């Protein structure tokens, strides 16, 4: 069974430039992984800047390089944090993040397992997210977060990507194993460059 939400597209498997990082969900406890998320996101951002060289004599090119590096670092970190936080810890399904470089865009793909009993709630949120005005929903979520002091999820990452970075987002859910059931979700983020 496969279900698609948002603007999901597969990207191009023959992308001339790509980077994939994989993680085993059982190798290190989640709390110890948070530092790795930031390091991995920073690595991806640094790696990508080699394709957007800045020229110190051209301040505009330096600004563009810094903007792209910042966007890649933010998006990669948010995607990794979500994948780690919401993975089905009962499953041995690996977590991965992929960055593809295309002439007009960057594409990110994170894949992780998700607990089958939490899929319906997640998909309801995605339906709301993909049919809303991101800026209005962002403000509502800020107000809600201010009232809920102990919230474990801010729900601002995807909204920030959509509002601040003009990102297109999509999700693909697919059953990858039947017994026991393992459902994988791939989150796709496409950033214009």
From edge to edge, which strands make up the β-sheet containing 105-114? 2-6, 168-177, 182-192, 105-114, 95-101, 17-23
Query: What pLDDT does 96 receive?
Result: 96
Q: Could you give the angle at the alpha carbon of 123 between the alpha carbons of 102 and 76, nearest 5°?
A: 35
> Which tokens hold the place of 96?
């991965």
Predicted TM-score of the model (pTM): 0.90
Residue 108 is classified by DSSP as E
- The CA–CA distances, whole Å, from 28 to 32, 40, 67, 70, 192 equal 7, 15, 32, 27, 34
Which residues 6+ apart lie within 8 Å of 74 measured at CB?
Answer: 41, 160, 161, 165
* Segment 33-92, tens digit of pLDDT: 777 888 999 999 999 988 887 777 888 888 989 999 999 999 999 999 999 989 998 888
Q: By three-state DSSP, how is residue 142 classified?
A: helix
Residue 47 is classified by DSSP as H
Which residues 6+ apart lie within 8 Å of 137 measured at CB?
Answer: 128, 129, 159
Taking the CA of residue 74 as centre, how many other CA atoms within 13 Å lie in the half-sphere pointing to its CB? 17
Query: What pLDDT does 97 receive?
Result: 97
Grade residue 138 by pLDDT with cuts at 50, 70 and 90.
confident
């Amino acid at each position: 069974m496969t279900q698609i939400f948002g603007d999901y597209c597969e990207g191009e498997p023959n992308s001339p430039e790509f980077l994939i990082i994989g993680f085993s969900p059982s190798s290190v406890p989640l709390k110890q992984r948070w530092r790795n998320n930031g390091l991995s996101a920073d690595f991806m951002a640094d790696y990508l800047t080699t394709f957007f060289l800045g020229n110190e004599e051209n301040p505009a090119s330096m600004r563009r390089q810094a903007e792209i590096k910042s966007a890649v670092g933010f998006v990669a970190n948010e995607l990794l944090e979500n994948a780690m936080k919401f993975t089905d810890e009962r499953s041995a399904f690996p977590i991965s993040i992929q960055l593809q470089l295309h002439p007009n865009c960057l594409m990110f793909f994170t894949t992780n397992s998700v607990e089958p009993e939490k899929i319906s709630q997640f998909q309801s949120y995605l339906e709301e997210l993909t049919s809303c005005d991101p800026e209005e929903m962002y403000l509502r979520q800020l107000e809600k977060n201010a009232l809920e002091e102990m919230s474990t999820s801010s729900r601002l990452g995807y909204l920030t990507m959509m509002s601040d970075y003009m990102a297109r987002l999509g999700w693909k859910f697919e059953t990858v194993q039947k017994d026991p059931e393992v459902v994988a979700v791939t989150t796709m983020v496409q950033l214009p460059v």
